[in-house]
Structure 1
Amino acid sequence: MDIRTGELSNPHVIKLLQAHHNDMLKHSPVESVHALDVTKLNQPDITFYSLWVDNKLAGVGALKALNTTHGEVKSMRTSSNYLRQGIAAKLFTHIIKQSTLRGYKKLSLETGTVEAFLPAQKLYTCFGFKECEPFGDYELDPYSLFMSKAL
Protein backbone atom coordinates (compact mmCIF):
# COMPACT_ATOMS: atom_id res chain seq x y z
CA MET A 1 0.00 0.00 0.00
CA ASP A 2 1.30 3.41 -1.00
CA ILE A 3 -0.35 6.77 -0.28
CA ARG A 4 0.81 9.45 -2.70
CA THR A 5 0.31 13.19 -2.64
CA GLY A 6 -0.80 14.71 -5.91
CA GLU A 7 -1.20 12.45 -8.96
CA LEU A 8 -4.03 14.64 -10.31
CA SER A 9 -2.71 14.27 -13.85
CA ASN A 10 -2.66 10.46 -13.63
CA PRO A 11 -5.27 9.04 -16.06
CA HIS A 12 -6.43 6.46 -13.48
CA VAL A 13 -7.06 9.21 -10.95
CA ILE A 14 -8.90 11.34 -13.51
CA LYS A 15 -11.08 8.37 -14.45
CA LEU A 16 -11.94 7.59 -10.80
CA LEU A 17 -12.76 11.25 -10.06
CA GLN A 18 -14.98 11.36 -13.15
CA ALA A 19 -16.78 8.19 -12.04
CA HIS A 20 -17.17 9.71 -8.56
CA HIS A 21 -18.77 12.85 -9.96
CA ASN A 22 -21.06 10.88 -12.30
CA ASP A 23 -22.17 8.68 -9.41
CA MET A 24 -22.97 11.71 -7.26
CA LEU A 25 -25.20 13.01 -10.06
CA LYS A 26 -27.18 9.73 -9.98
CA HIS A 27 -28.14 10.30 -6.35
CA SER A 28 -28.40 14.08 -5.97
CA PRO A 29 -29.52 17.00 -8.11
CA VAL A 30 -26.66 18.91 -9.74
CA GLU A 31 -26.98 21.87 -7.34
CA SER A 32 -26.48 19.48 -4.40
CA VAL A 33 -23.36 17.77 -5.77
CA HIS A 34 -20.26 19.17 -4.06
CA ALA A 35 -17.70 16.79 -5.57
CA LEU A 36 -14.72 18.66 -6.99
CA ASP A 37 -13.27 18.07 -10.44
CA VAL A 38 -9.53 17.83 -11.14
CA THR A 39 -9.20 21.59 -11.73
CA LYS A 40 -10.85 22.48 -8.42
CA LEU A 41 -8.84 19.84 -6.55
CA ASN A 42 -5.62 21.30 -7.94
CA GLN A 43 -5.73 24.40 -5.74
CA PRO A 44 -3.20 25.62 -3.16
CA ASP A 45 -5.62 25.10 -0.24
CA ILE A 46 -6.25 21.44 -1.17
CA THR A 47 -3.94 18.47 -0.72
CA PHE A 48 -4.95 15.49 -2.83
CA TYR A 49 -4.10 11.91 -1.84
CA SER A 50 -4.30 8.67 -3.79
CA LEU A 51 -3.90 5.19 -2.34
CA TRP A 52 -2.26 2.53 -4.49
CA VAL A 53 -2.05 -1.24 -4.03
CA ASP A 54 0.57 -2.93 -6.21
CA ASN A 55 0.62 0.20 -8.41
CA LYS A 56 -3.15 0.00 -8.95
CA LEU A 57 -5.35 2.90 -7.84
CA ALA A 58 -7.48 1.81 -4.90
CA GLY A 59 -8.88 5.12 -3.65
CA VAL A 60 -8.65 8.89 -3.45
CA GLY A 61 -9.37 11.65 -0.97
CA ALA A 62 -8.44 15.25 -0.31
CA LEU A 63 -7.92 17.66 2.57
CA LYS A 64 -8.99 21.27 2.15
CA ALA A 65 -7.81 24.01 4.49
CA LEU A 66 -10.84 26.08 5.50
CA ASN A 67 -8.67 28.18 7.82
CA THR A 68 -5.66 27.60 10.11
CA THR A 69 -7.63 25.41 12.55
CA HIS A 70 -10.36 23.81 10.43
CA GLY A 71 -10.04 21.34 7.56
CA GLU A 72 -12.53 19.65 5.27
CA VAL A 73 -12.40 16.15 3.80
CA LYS A 74 -13.19 16.18 0.06
CA SER A 75 -13.56 13.66 -2.77
CA MET A 76 -13.37 10.41 -0.80
CA ARG A 77 -13.82 7.55 -3.24
CA THR A 78 -12.79 3.89 -3.37
CA SER A 79 -12.22 2.18 -6.72
CA SER A 80 -14.91 -0.42 -7.40
CA ASN A 81 -12.24 -3.17 -7.49
CA TYR A 82 -11.31 -2.41 -3.87
CA LEU A 83 -14.68 -1.93 -2.17
CA ARG A 84 -15.06 -3.39 1.34
CA GLN A 85 -11.32 -3.99 1.71
CA GLY A 86 -10.58 -1.20 4.19
CA ILE A 87 -9.21 1.23 1.61
CA ALA A 88 -11.47 4.13 2.64
CA ALA A 89 -10.58 3.61 6.32
CA LYS A 90 -6.84 3.65 5.55
CA LEU A 91 -7.13 6.79 3.45
CA PHE A 92 -9.40 8.47 6.01
CA THR A 93 -6.94 7.62 8.79
CA HIS A 94 -4.17 9.26 6.75
CA ILE A 95 -6.24 12.41 6.17
CA ILE A 96 -7.08 12.67 9.88
CA LYS A 97 -3.39 12.25 10.76
CA GLN A 98 -2.39 14.96 8.28
CA SER A 99 -5.05 17.26 9.77
CA THR A 100 -3.60 16.72 13.24
CA LEU A 101 -0.06 17.37 11.98
CA ARG A 102 -1.27 20.66 10.48
CA GLY A 103 -2.62 21.68 13.86
CA TYR A 104 -6.27 21.62 12.88
CA LYS A 105 -8.64 21.58 15.83
CA LYS A 106 -11.64 20.50 13.77
CA LEU A 107 -12.23 18.37 10.68
CA SER A 108 -15.52 18.47 8.77
CA LEU A 109 -17.10 16.92 5.72
CA GLU A 110 -20.23 16.90 3.60
CA THR A 111 -21.79 13.69 2.35
CA GLY A 112 -25.10 12.68 0.85
CA THR A 113 -28.28 11.71 2.65
CA VAL A 114 -29.78 9.04 0.40
CA GLU A 115 -29.27 5.30 0.86
CA ALA A 116 -26.26 5.13 -1.49
CA PHE A 117 -24.30 7.23 1.04
CA LEU A 118 -24.99 5.00 4.05
CA PRO A 119 -21.62 3.18 3.83
CA ALA A 120 -19.80 6.54 3.86
CA GLN A 121 -21.91 7.79 6.77
CA LYS A 122 -21.14 4.60 8.71
CA LEU A 123 -17.40 5.00 8.09
CA TYR A 124 -17.40 8.61 9.25
CA THR A 125 -19.44 7.76 12.35
CA CYS A 126 -17.01 4.94 13.22
CA PHE A 127 -14.23 7.55 13.20
CA GLY A 128 -16.12 9.73 15.69
CA PHE A 129 -17.68 12.24 13.30
CA LYS A 130 -21.03 13.62 14.37
CA GLU A 131 -23.75 15.45 12.49
CA CYS A 132 -23.35 19.23 12.55
CA GLU A 133 -24.65 22.42 10.99
CA PRO A 134 -23.44 23.49 7.54
CA PHE A 135 -19.93 24.96 7.62
CA GLY A 136 -17.89 27.10 5.24
CA ASP A 137 -19.95 28.12 2.21
CA TYR A 138 -22.44 25.26 2.54
CA GLU A 139 -26.15 25.86 3.12
CA LEU A 140 -28.85 23.56 4.46
CA ASP A 141 -29.82 21.07 1.78
CA PRO A 142 -31.98 17.93 2.07
CA TYR A 143 -29.37 16.06 0.00
CA SER A 144 -26.44 17.01 2.27
CA LEU A 145 -25.35 15.66 5.64
CA PHE A 146 -22.69 17.69 7.42
CA MET A 147 -20.37 16.03 9.93
CA SER A 148 -17.49 17.23 12.10
CA LYS A 149 -15.00 15.96 14.62
CA ALA A 150 -12.86 17.81 17.13
CA LEU A 151 -9.21 16.81 16.79
Structure 2
Amino acid sequence: MPTMITIARETPLSPELTELHARHRAAMHAESPPESIHMLPADALAAPGISFFVMREDGAVIGMGAYKRHSPELAEIKSMHVLSELRGRGLARRLLDHLVAEARAEGAVRLSLETGTQDAFGPARMLYEKAGFAECPPFADYRLDPYSVFYTREI
Protein backbone atom coordinates (compact mmCIF):
# COMPACT_ATOMS: atom_id res chain seq x y z
CA MET A 1 0.00 0.00 0.00
CA PRO A 2 1.47 3.40 -0.96
CA THR A 3 2.46 5.72 1.84
CA MET A 4 2.21 9.50 2.07
CA ILE A 5 5.53 11.31 2.61
CA THR A 6 5.31 14.98 3.56
CA ILE A 7 7.94 17.58 4.41
CA ALA A 8 6.78 20.73 6.14
CA ARG A 9 8.13 23.63 8.14
CA GLU A 10 7.51 22.97 11.85
CA THR A 11 8.87 24.00 15.20
CA PRO A 12 11.83 21.93 16.41
CA LEU A 13 10.47 22.32 19.96
CA SER A 14 7.48 20.02 19.47
CA PRO A 15 7.39 17.21 22.07
CA GLU A 16 6.63 14.89 19.15
CA LEU A 17 10.23 15.39 17.97
CA THR A 18 11.94 14.54 21.28
CA GLU A 19 12.86 10.99 20.25
CA LEU A 20 14.15 12.08 16.83
CA HIS A 21 16.38 14.74 18.41
CA ALA A 22 17.63 12.19 20.98
CA ARG A 23 18.46 9.64 18.30
CA HIS A 24 20.28 12.27 16.22
CA ARG A 25 22.26 13.43 19.27
CA ALA A 26 23.16 9.83 20.23
CA ALA A 27 24.35 9.07 16.69
CA MET A 28 26.57 12.17 16.62
CA HIS A 29 28.03 11.48 20.07
CA ALA A 30 28.70 7.83 19.19
CA GLU A 31 30.97 8.82 16.30
CA SER A 32 32.66 12.12 17.17
CA PRO A 33 34.52 13.66 20.10
CA PRO A 34 32.41 16.37 21.80
CA GLU A 35 34.56 19.24 20.50
CA SER A 36 33.94 18.06 16.92
CA ILE A 37 30.13 17.83 17.14
CA HIS A 38 28.43 20.73 15.37
CA MET A 39 24.79 19.61 15.54
CA LEU A 40 22.31 22.06 17.00
CA PRO A 41 19.97 21.14 19.86
CA ALA A 42 16.25 21.71 19.42
CA ASP A 43 16.22 25.12 21.13
CA ALA A 44 19.03 26.39 18.87
CA LEU A 45 17.16 25.09 15.81
CA ALA A 46 14.27 27.36 16.84
CA ALA A 47 16.44 30.49 16.61
CA PRO A 48 15.78 33.25 14.07
CA GLY A 49 17.56 32.63 10.77
CA ILE A 50 17.01 28.87 10.91
CA SER A 51 14.37 27.14 8.80
CA PHE A 52 13.41 23.75 10.26
CA PHE A 53 11.49 21.00 8.46
CA VAL A 54 9.99 17.67 9.52
CA MET A 55 9.56 14.67 7.23
CA ARG A 56 6.58 12.44 8.00
CA GLU A 57 5.31 9.17 6.63
CA ASP A 58 1.57 8.78 7.01
CA GLY A 59 1.77 11.42 9.74
CA ALA A 60 4.57 9.76 11.75
CA VAL A 61 7.83 11.65 12.22
CA ILE A 62 10.64 9.98 10.25
CA GLY A 63 13.18 12.74 9.66
CA MET A 64 14.22 16.34 10.05
CA GLY A 65 16.45 18.89 8.43
CA ALA A 66 17.18 22.57 8.65
CA TYR A 67 19.22 25.30 7.10
CA LYS A 68 20.77 28.30 8.76
CA ARG A 69 21.22 31.59 6.95
CA HIS A 70 24.73 33.00 7.33
CA SER A 71 24.14 35.82 4.85
CA PRO A 72 21.59 36.65 2.17
CA GLU A 73 23.61 34.47 -0.23
CA LEU A 74 24.81 31.61 2.01
CA ALA A 75 22.79 28.98 3.88
CA GLU A 76 24.06 25.92 5.75
CA ILE A 77 22.40 22.51 6.08
CA LYS A 78 21.98 21.66 9.80
CA SER A 79 20.77 18.61 11.74
CA MET A 80 19.65 16.53 8.78
CA HIS A 81 18.55 13.11 10.05
CA VAL A 82 16.35 10.26 8.80
CA LEU A 83 15.53 7.37 11.13
CA SER A 84 18.17 4.67 10.62
CA GLU A 85 15.65 1.86 10.12
CA LEU A 86 14.13 3.72 7.14
CA ARG A 87 17.37 4.52 5.30
CA GLY A 88 17.96 3.16 1.82
CA ARG A 89 14.59 4.34 0.48
CA GLY A 90 15.75 7.67 -0.95
CA LEU A 91 14.22 9.64 1.92
CA ALA A 92 17.41 11.55 2.77
CA ARG A 93 17.78 12.64 -0.87
CA ARG A 94 14.16 13.75 -0.92
CA LEU A 95 14.71 15.76 2.28
CA LEU A 96 17.94 17.26 0.94
CA ASP A 97 16.26 18.24 -2.34
CA HIS A 98 13.50 19.93 -0.32
CA LEU A 99 16.03 21.92 1.74
CA VAL A 100 17.87 23.00 -1.42
CA ALA A 101 14.62 24.14 -3.05
CA GLU A 102 13.48 26.05 0.05
CA ALA A 103 16.85 27.79 0.51
CA ARG A 104 16.88 28.72 -3.19
CA ALA A 105 13.32 30.06 -2.94
CA GLU A 106 14.43 32.28 -0.04
CA GLY A 107 17.21 33.74 -2.18
CA ALA A 108 20.27 31.73 -1.12
CA VAL A 109 22.70 31.12 -3.97
CA ARG A 110 25.12 28.86 -2.09
CA LEU A 111 24.43 26.00 0.30
CA SER A 112 27.22 24.58 2.46
CA LEU A 113 27.46 21.95 5.19
CA GLU A 114 29.74 20.16 7.62
CA THR A 115 29.67 16.41 8.18
CA GLY A 116 31.92 13.79 9.70
CA THR A 117 34.99 12.09 8.25
CA GLN A 118 34.39 8.78 10.05
CA ASP A 119 33.13 5.69 8.20
CA ALA A 120 29.66 6.05 9.73
CA PHE A 121 29.28 9.33 7.80
CA GLY A 122 30.22 7.69 4.47
CA PRO A 123 26.60 7.41 3.30
CA ALA A 124 26.01 11.09 4.12
CA ARG A 125 29.11 12.15 2.19
CA MET A 126 28.00 10.04 -0.77
CA LEU A 127 24.52 11.60 -0.63
CA TYR A 128 25.94 15.13 -0.69
CA GLU A 129 28.41 14.35 -3.48
CA LYS A 130 25.67 12.76 -5.63
CA ALA A 131 23.58 15.90 -5.04
CA GLY A 132 26.32 18.10 -6.50
CA PHE A 133 28.14 19.19 -3.36
CA ALA A 134 31.93 19.44 -3.56
CA GLU A 135 34.48 19.53 -0.75
CA CYS A 136 35.52 23.02 0.30
CA PRO A 137 37.51 24.73 3.04
CA PRO A 138 35.85 25.51 6.37
CA PHE A 139 33.24 28.28 6.09
CA ALA A 140 31.49 30.63 8.53
CA ASP A 141 32.93 29.99 12.03
CA TYR A 142 34.24 26.48 11.33
CA ARG A 143 37.92 25.56 11.68
CA LEU A 144 39.92 22.68 10.25
CA ASP A 145 39.13 19.54 12.24
CA PRO A 146 40.23 15.95 11.47
CA TYR A 147 36.66 14.81 12.24
CA SER A 148 34.98 17.28 9.86
CA VAL A 149 34.67 17.63 6.12
CA PHE A 150 33.00 20.62 4.48
CA TYR A 151 30.91 20.72 1.31
CA THR A 152 29.32 23.45 -0.76
CA ARG A 153 27.38 23.96 -3.98
CA GLU A 154 25.71 26.73 -5.87
CA ILE A 155 21.93 26.54 -5.86
User: SS at the partner of 1:8?
Assistant: coil
Cα deviation, residue 51, structure 1: 0.5
**Which residue matches 1:37?**
41
Structure 1 stretch displaced more, 17-26 or 45-54 = 17-26
Instruction: Return 5+ residue gaps in structure 2 as ranges.
Output: none
2:102 to 98, 101, 118: 98
1:141 to 128, 145, 148: 145
2:76 to 72, 81, 86: 72
Aligned residues: 151
Paired with 2:78 and 2:55, the residues of 1 have a C-alpha distance of 15
RMSD, matched Cα: 1.0
Q: Does 1:15 align with 2:10?
A: no
**Which residue matches 1:60?**
64
User: SS at the partner of 1:67?
Assistant: coil
Paired with 2:51 and 2:122, the residues of 1 have a C-alpha distance of 25
**Which residue matches 2:86?**
82
- What is the TM-score when the length of structure 1 is the normalising length? 0.96
CA contact (8 A) 2:67 2:75 kept: yes
Amino acid in the other structure paired with 1:95:
L
User: SS at the partner of 1:96?
Assistant: helix
Identity %: 38
What do the CA deviations read for 1:42-94 (whole angstroms, capped 9, x no partner)? 10110100010101111100011010000000001001232111111111000
User: SS at the partner of 1:2?
Assistant: strand
Q: Does 1:109 align with 2:91?
A: no
